[in-house]
């Protein structure tokens, strides 16, 4: 790999199609070619001397590929030549074995003010004797002579029953990690240590700093070596045991110095045919004021790993939740909130959360870390060095990697998603008094600090023996859901709902839910003041991110939060977001739009496209029609507030306008259309609310308007329509509501239902020829109604991207339209009647006069009809 010079050059990473001429592109844009990213197809690095504005380069790229102005990599370029590009940065990752904040230290300089002495020794009497007898038998049967094994309480707790990872029962079955290699991606690995040398795999190791196959660290780089001992410390007479003490261990050194993002990606995909699990006890700095996503090259590497690693079964990536404690949230960490990684939280020997452990709904499970009085015993740099100074989520991550190594040793054919599912199904809830436990519809429990519970090696292996491999993963994104609401104008609280009808899972062949992603495009003067939540149709709420008091950054942000809390729930129904501001009158912001992403098991076992990146689509190309058997929601937009406040948009930067498809139009009628595009076809057009109301009036008017003066002549040809009213008796009363002027016609439709059965024979073509026929025409509304959505061309272009919006007139009328189909179209006109001219581009003042005249004539004819009927009955 060529050396880089970030001091004098700017580097850009591009992902092209195969047919792009690299030399021609380089000349046209003015970028110099640096190298091909060898481990990724059709991806290249270019550079240019510092001083050239990024906007200048962007414009040249847009002109070369003919890109739509204003698009960016996150939105997607809509190009079949350029898939992605981004400016590169030197990335600095920090290990998570160091607690840096003073509030977590006691007076003696040790982390965690709650110092616990002999914390694990609370068993008494016979129970304590039984546990001590049991560990003696385990040591004899497994021939364990490691001096520190008795002190490794997290492997077998002889003083407090159950406070461990329950691993010895797996060892007694002969499952100790054989044939599995765990890569420690870190600051190096001292393979000369007596506890690591027997299990070291040199063929799967590499030093990305020195460009050699020797991952040995510097004297002060001890972090990776400590992590390695927890996984694969050998059974001997030295130090202690690793969780999978017969597994192989490799070292991939790319820390501690800053590296390019493509180097980080290479480390996470190195020898993925040999390395099965990548243990990553590092991440962005846990300062509580960062939102740091994964770079494209790194994410592309992870995607390739889960698609091709382990001969197609998928590489396993294990990350810690982080050490930012109360001040941070792991949903702002792109590694922790990825659906393709396993995020592990840290708990102590009392099965309480460490105060430095970050919460978020991306945590799958928890396992142990060390502190004073309950240490983690592992290896250290040096041939005969051991350590008890290992803590943070850095210590819990390799314990989880070791448990997964045992799982793969017992059941090597498990896929990367099988492992995630097994963790969800077998994790053991603990510390029941903790207030954040929620009972789920699945019968499981979830906690933002602990995930689904603590890892239990024995339960996982036993469950895996009968586990049926999951079908491949499928995913889909909804369209954008525009809001354009300010916190100051909504009481500091912005809510919105989106209805997933049954057509979605059917169209995308979506069998079972695993991860839910929620993208927010928002703006605030201090983003740390915001809390984000989402509630599923089952009533389960995920706190996507709590407030971060240290995050004082402002501006326009586009960020995707993830949650595993809804694993196994139905996706059908209303999904409701709730964004709450801290309500500082001097600081304001708002939400432009939001979007849902669903990841889960496919209904099909073959032919499912593999995951690709970018895996989130802000502009999906299709909107599935509702399933014919689906029951539309009567309250699709019941929780949405009007979007007519387009004028009250927060003072946002140019980013929103730069996204033409996501621009929330200020015209109410144009805001209505996105709804139609969202629910799209037949039934869901009725749920798209605003557009349907305007269309119904036009169909009747274009026809009568050319004929108003010759109405008597036009009416005779329309007696054929009364027979239609025989099939639908209701249309006759509805024509009267159709005038829509006042509630006057409404009382009259009420008597009409009684005569309707008799008018059905409708032998009165003579009295009704003069007037009723203009009104029967509204009866034809059900037929033209499918056409209106397509009739106003101006309403459709932006539909697909902007998807559903909480539009102004989507409250009561929406419910009627959803609950009924063609008949509802007539009744809906009653609700929109007070503003007959709104949204209607056809017609004139003369046509309105003729319309009202027709109404009066119609009323007279109805009275005549009743009179004749009365005479008929009396005779």
- In Å, how far are 186, 261, 303 from 299, measured between CA atoms? 18, 10, 6
Q: Give the span between the Cα atoms of 864 and 860, in whole angstroms.
A: 6
CA torsion sign, 126 to 130 to 131 to 136? positive
Per the CB < 8 A criterion, the answer to whether 832 and 809 are in contact is yes
Confidence at 762, pLDDT banded by 50, 70, 90: very low
692 within a domain of the structure (yes/no): no
Strand partners, 13: 45, 86
Looking at residue 293, what is its pLDDT? 87
Residue 129 has pLDDT above 50, yes or no: yes
Q: Give the span between the Cα atoms of 341 and 330, in whole angstroms.
A: 13
Cα torsion through 24, 26, 27, 32, rounded to 10: -150
Across 649-659, average pLDDT: 39
Higher pLDDT, 219 or 380: 380
3-state secondary structure of 132: helix
Strand partners, 367: 346
Looking at residue 125, what is its pLDDT? 53
Residue 436 has pLDDT above 60, yes or no: yes
Judgement on whether residues 279 and 426 belong to the same structural domain of the protein: yes
528 within a domain of the structure (yes/no): yes
Looking at residue 537, what is its pLDDT? 98
27 within a domain of the structure (yes/no): yes
Strand 541-545 with 531-535, pairing: antiparallel
H/E run at residue 494: strand 493-500
Q: Give the span between the Cα atoms of 280 and 344, in whole angstroms.
A: 11
Looking at residue 386, what is its pLDDT? 92
Rg of the chain in Å (alpha carbons) = 33
Strand partners, 94: 283
Query: What percent of the chain is predicted at pLDDT more than 70?
Result: 67
Nearest C-alpha neighbor of 827 from the set 772, 746, 711: 746
- Residue written as tokens 């016979």? 126
3-state secondary structure of 102: helix
Parent domain of 575 = 473-658
Looking at residue 67, what is its pLDDT? 86
Looking at residue 52, what is its pLDDT? 92
Higher pLDDT, 656 or 875: 875
Looking at residue 74, what is its pLDDT? 62
Looking at residue 283, what is its pLDDT? 86
User: What is the Cα 135 distance to its own chain's centre?
Assistant: 45
148 within a domain of the structure (yes/no): no
Looking at residue 850, what is its pLDDT? 52
Judgement on whether residues 459 and 509 belong to the same structural domain of the protein: no
**Alpha helices by DSSP H, 648-720:** 668-679, 682-687, 711-714
776: left (phi over 0), alpha (psi -120 to 50) or beta: alpha
Higher pLDDT, 766 or 299: 299
Judgement on whether residues 447 and 481 belong to the same structural domain of the protein: no
DSSP label at residue 374: B
CATH number at residue 602: 2.60.120.260
- In Å, how far are 47, 258, 532 from 43, measured between CA atoms? 14, 22, 35
Query: What percent of the chain is predicted at pLDDT more than 90?
Result: 52
> What does the H/E/C string look like for 543-608?
EEECCCCCCCCCEEEEEEEEECCCCCCCCCEEEEEEEECCCCCCCCEEEEEEEEEEEEEECCCCCC
Looking at residue 467, what is its pLDDT? 97
Judgement on whether residues 359 and 376 belong to the same structural domain of the protein: yes
Looking at residue 119, what is its pLDDT? 41
- In Å, how far are 510, 615, 620 from 475, measured between CA atoms? 8, 8, 12
Instruction: Please return the burial class of 764, using the count of CB atoms within 10 Å of its CB with bins 0-12, 13-18 and 19+.
Output: middle
Confidence at 96, pLDDT banded by 50, 70, 90: low
Looking at residue 874, what is its pLDDT? 57
Higher pLDDT, 833 or 145: 145
Per the CB < 8 A criterion, the answer to whether 455 and 424 are in contact is no
User: Strand locations in 136-284, DSSP E?
Assistant: 181-186, 206-207, 248-253, 259-260, 277-280, 282-283
H/E run at residue 500: strand 493-500
Q: Which of 16-25, 454-463, 657-666 has the lowest mean pLDDT?
A: 657-666
3-state secondary structure of 308: helix
Higher pLDDT, 281 or 838: 281
843 within a domain of the structure (yes/no): yes
149 within a domain of the structure (yes/no): no
- Residue written as tokens 């510390």? 431
Domains: count for the chain: 4
Per the CB < 8 A criterion, the answer to whether 45 and 85 are in contact is no
CATH number at residue 68: 3.30.70
Instruction: Please return the burial class of 580, using the count of CB atoms within 10 Å of its CB with bins 0-12, 13-18 and 19+.
Output: middle
Q: Give the span between the Cα atoms of 301 and 262, in whole angstroms.
A: 9
Across 100-106, average pLDDT: 41
459 within a domain of the structure (yes/no): yes
Looking at residue 79, what is its pLDDT? 84
223 noted as active-site residue: yes
pLDDT in tens, 62-95: 999 998 876 666 666 778 899 889 888 887 777 6
> How many Cβ atoms sit within 10 Å of the Cβ of residue 734?
24
Looking at residue 858, what is its pLDDT? 79
Selection from 522-536, 712-726, 741-755 with the highest mean pLDDT: 522-536
Q: Give the span between the Cα atoms of 549 and 287, in whole angstroms.
A: 11
553 noted as active-site residue: no
Judgement on whether residues 488 and 614 belong to the same structural domain of the protein: yes
114 within a domain of the structure (yes/no): no
Nearest C-alpha neighbor of 12 from the set 237, 201, 262, 228: 262
Looking at residue 485, what is its pLDDT? 96
Q: Give the span between the Cα atoms of 274 and 555, in whole angstroms.
A: 44
Q: Give the span between the Cα atoms of 58 and 66, in whole angstroms.
A: 12
Q: How many residues does the chain have?
A: 875
Q: Which of 28-42, 235-249, 325-339, 792-806 has the lowest mean pLDDT?
A: 792-806
pLDDT in tens, 160-190: 999 999 999 999 999 999 999 999 999 999 9
Of 70, 88, 106, which closes a domain? 88
Packing angle, helices 392-410 and 416-426, rounded to 10: 110
Confidence at 303, pLDDT banded by 50, 70, 90: very high
Q: Give the span between the Cα atoms of 102 and 739, in whole angstroms.
A: 73
Q: Give the span between the Cα atoms of 448 and 359, in whole angstroms.
A: 5
588 noted as active-site residue: no
Looking at residue 657, what is its pLDDT? 34
Which one from 357, 394, 677, 684 is the annotated catalytic residue? 394
Here the tokens at position 186 are: 């870190």
CATH number at residue 434: 3.40.50.200
> How many Cβ atoms sit within 10 Å of the Cβ of residue 592?
25
Q: Omega of the bond prior to 213 within 30 degrees of 0, cis? A: no
Strand 282-283 with 316-320, pairing: unpaired
Nearest C-alpha neighbor of 190 from the set 212, 219, 231, 149: 219
Q: Give the span between the Cα atoms of 249 and 795, in whole angstroms.
A: 60
Angle at 795 between CA 790 and CA 797, to 5 degrees: 90
Residue 729 has pLDDT above 90, yes or no: no
Residue-wise DSSP of 273-307: TT--EEEE-EES---SS--B---HHHHHHHHHHHH
Looking at residue 873, what is its pLDDT? 57
3-state secondary structure of 647: helix
Q: Give the span between the Cα atoms of 338 and 305, in whole angstroms.
A: 14
CA torsion sign, 712 to 714 to 719 to 722? negative
Judgement on whether residues 451 and 481 belong to the same structural domain of the protein: no
Judgement on whether residues 457 and 479 belong to the same structural domain of the protein: no
Nearest C-alpha neighbor of 636 from the set 626, 624, 623, 650: 626
Q: Which letter, b or e, does each residue of 701-723 get, where b requires 16 or more Cβ atoms within 10 Å of its Cβ?
A: beebbebbeebeebbeebbebbe
Confidence at 482, pLDDT banded by 50, 70, 90: very high
Q: Give the span between the Cα atoms of 303 and 561, in whole angstroms.
A: 18
Nearest C-alpha neighbor of 165 from the set 389, 402, 464: 402
Q: Give the span between the Cα atoms of 192 and 384, in whole angstroms.
A: 9
Looking at residue 864, what is its pLDDT? 79
Looking at residue 656, what is its pLDDT? 38
Judgement on whether residues 460 and 479 belong to the same structural domain of the protein: no
> What's the whole-number average pLDDT of the chain?
76
Judgement on whether residues 301 and 349 belong to the same structural domain of the protein: yes
Of 465, 488, 517, which closes a domain? 465
Per the CB < 8 A criterion, the answer to whether 264 and 93 are in contact is yes
Judgement on whether residues 585 and 721 belong to the same structural domain of the protein: no
Which one from 223, 501, 546, 597 is the annotated catalytic residue? 223
pLDDT in tens, 529-567: 999 999 999 999 999 999 998 888 889 899 999 999 999
3-state secondary structure of 794: helix
Judgement on whether residues 386 and 267 belong to the same structural domain of the protein: yes
Of 635, 658, 681, which closes a domain? 658
Looking at residue 734, what is its pLDDT? 41
- In Å, how far are 203, 545, 563 from 617, measured between CA atoms? 39, 22, 18
User: What is the Cα 751 distance to its own chain's centre?
Assistant: 53
Q: Which of 413-422, 470-479, 556-565, 743-752 has the lowest mean pLDDT?
A: 743-752
Q: Give the span between the Cα atoms of 393 and 367, in whole angstroms.
A: 9
Q: Give the span between the Cα atoms of 138 and 277, in whole angstroms.
A: 28
Which one from 75, 146, 164, 186 is the annotated catalytic residue? 186
Across 665-689, average pLDDT: 33
Across 857-875, average pLDDT: 72
Looking at residue 401, what is its pLDDT? 98
User: Does the model's pTM come out above 0.85?
Assistant: no
Across 489-514, average pLDDT: 95
- Residue written as tokens 């009684």? 754
User: What is the Cα 73 distance to its own chain's centre?
Assistant: 18
Judgement on whether residues 182 and 260 belong to the same structural domain of the protein: yes
Higher pLDDT, 196 or 757: 196
């Amino acid at each position: 790999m060529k050396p880089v010079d970030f001091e004098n050059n700017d580097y850009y990473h591009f992902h092209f199609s195969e047919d792009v001429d690299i030399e021609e592109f380089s000349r046209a844009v003015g970028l110099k070619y640096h190298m091909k990213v060898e481990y990724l197809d059709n991806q290249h690095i270019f550079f240019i001397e510092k001083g050239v504005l990024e906007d200048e380069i962007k414009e040249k790229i847009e002109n070369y590929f003919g890109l739509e102005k204003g698009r960016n990599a996150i939105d997607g370029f809509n190009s079949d030549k350029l898939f992605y590009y981004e400016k590169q940065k030197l990335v600095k990752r920090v290990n998570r074995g160091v607690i840096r904040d003073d509030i977590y230290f006691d007076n003696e300089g040790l982390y965690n003010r709650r110092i616990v002495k002999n914390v694990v020794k609370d068993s008494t009497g016979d129970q304590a004797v039984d546990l001590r007898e049991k560990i003696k038998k385990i040591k004899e049967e497994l021939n364990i002579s490691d001096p520190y094994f008795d002190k490794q309480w997290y492997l077998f707790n002889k003083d407090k029953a159950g406070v461990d990872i329950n691993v010895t029962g797996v060892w007694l079955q002969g499952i100790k990690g054989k044939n599995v290699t765990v890569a420690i991606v870190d600051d190096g690995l001292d393979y000369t240590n007596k506890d690591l040398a027997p299990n070291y795999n040199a063929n799967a190791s590499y030093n990305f700093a020195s460009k050699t196959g020797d991952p040995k660290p510097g004297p002060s780089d001890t972090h990776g070596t400590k992590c390695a001992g927890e996984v694969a410390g050998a059974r001997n007479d030295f130090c202690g045991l690793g969780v999978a003490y017969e597994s192989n261990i490799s070292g991939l050194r790319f820390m501690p110095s800053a590296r390019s993002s493509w180097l980080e990606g290479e480390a996470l995909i190195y020898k993925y045919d040999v390395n099965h699990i990548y243990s990553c006890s590092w991440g962005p700095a846990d300062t509580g004021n960062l939102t740091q996503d994964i770079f494209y090259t790194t994410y592309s590497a992870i995607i390739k790993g889960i698609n091709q690693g382990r001969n197609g079964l998928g590489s396993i990536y294990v990350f810690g939740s982080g050490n930012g404690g109360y001040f941070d949230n792991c949903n702002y960490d792109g590694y922790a909130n990825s659906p393709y990684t396993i995020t592990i939280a840290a708990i102590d020997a009392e099965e309480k959360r460490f105060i430095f452990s970050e919460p978020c709904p991306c945590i799958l499970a928890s396992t142990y870390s060390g502190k004073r009085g309950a240490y983690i015993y592992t290896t250290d740099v040096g041939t005969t060095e051991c350590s008890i100074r290992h803590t943070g989520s850095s210590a819990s991550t390799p314990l989880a990697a070791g448990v997964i190594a045992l799982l793969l040793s017992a059941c090597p054919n498990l896929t990367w998603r099988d492992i995630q599912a097994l963790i969800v199904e077998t994790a053991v809830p603990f510390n029941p008094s903790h207030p954040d436990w929620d009972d789920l519809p699945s019968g499981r429990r979830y906690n933002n600090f602990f995930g689904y519970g603590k890892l239990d090696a024995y339960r996982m292996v036993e469950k895996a023996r009968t586990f049926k491999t999951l079908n491949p993963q499928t995913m889909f994104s909804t369209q954008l859901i525009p809001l354009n609401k300010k916190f100051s104008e909504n009481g500091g609280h912005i809510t919105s709902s989106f209805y997933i009808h049954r057509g979605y899972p059917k169209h995308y062949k979506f069998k079972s839910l695993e991860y839910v992603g929620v993208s927010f495009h928002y703006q605030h003067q201090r983003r740390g003041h915001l809390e984000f939540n989402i509630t599923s149709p089952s009533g389960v709420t995920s706190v996507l991110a709590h407030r971060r008091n240290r995050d004082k950054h402002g501006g326009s942000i586009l960020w995707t939060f993830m949650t595993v809390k809804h694993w196994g729930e139905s996706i059908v129904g209303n999904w409701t977001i709730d964004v709450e501001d801290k309500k500082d009158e001097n600081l304001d912001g708002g939400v432009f739009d939001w979007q849902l992403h669903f990841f889960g098991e496919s209904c099909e076992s073959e032919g499912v496209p593999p995951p690709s990146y970018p895996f989130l689509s802000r502009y999906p190309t299709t909107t599935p029609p509702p399933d014919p058997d689906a029951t539309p929601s009567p309250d699709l937009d019941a929780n949405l507030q009007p979007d007519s406040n387009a004028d009250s948009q927060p003072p946002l930067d140019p980013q929103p306008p730069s996204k033409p498809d996501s621009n929330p139009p200020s015209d109410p009628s144009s805001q209505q259309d996105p709804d139609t595009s969202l629910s799209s076809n037949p039934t869901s057009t009725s749920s798209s609310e605003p557009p349907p109301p305007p269309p119904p009036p036009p169909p009747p008017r274009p026809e009568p308007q050319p004929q108003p003066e010759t109405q008597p002549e036009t009416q005779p040809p329309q007696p054929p329509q009364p027979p239609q009213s025989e099939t639908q008796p209701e249309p006759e009363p509805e024509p009267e509501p159709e005038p829509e002027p006042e509630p006057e016609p409404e009382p009259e439709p009420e008597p009409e239902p009684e005569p309707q059965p008799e008018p059905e024979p409708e032998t009165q073509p003579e009295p009704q020829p003069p007037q009723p026929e203009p009104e029967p025409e509204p009866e034809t509304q059900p037929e033209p109604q499918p056409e209106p959505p397509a009739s106003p061309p101006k309403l459709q272009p932006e539909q697909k991207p902007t998807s559903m919006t909480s539009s102004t007139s989507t409250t009561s009328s929406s419910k009627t339209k959803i609950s009924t189909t063609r008949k509802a179209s007539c009744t809906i006109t009653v609700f929109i009647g007070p503003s007959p001219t709104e949204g209607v581009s056809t017609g004139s003042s003369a046509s309105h006069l003729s319309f009202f005249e027709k109404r009066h004539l119609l009323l007279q004819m109805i009275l005549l009809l009743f009179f004749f009927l009365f005479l008929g009955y009396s005779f």
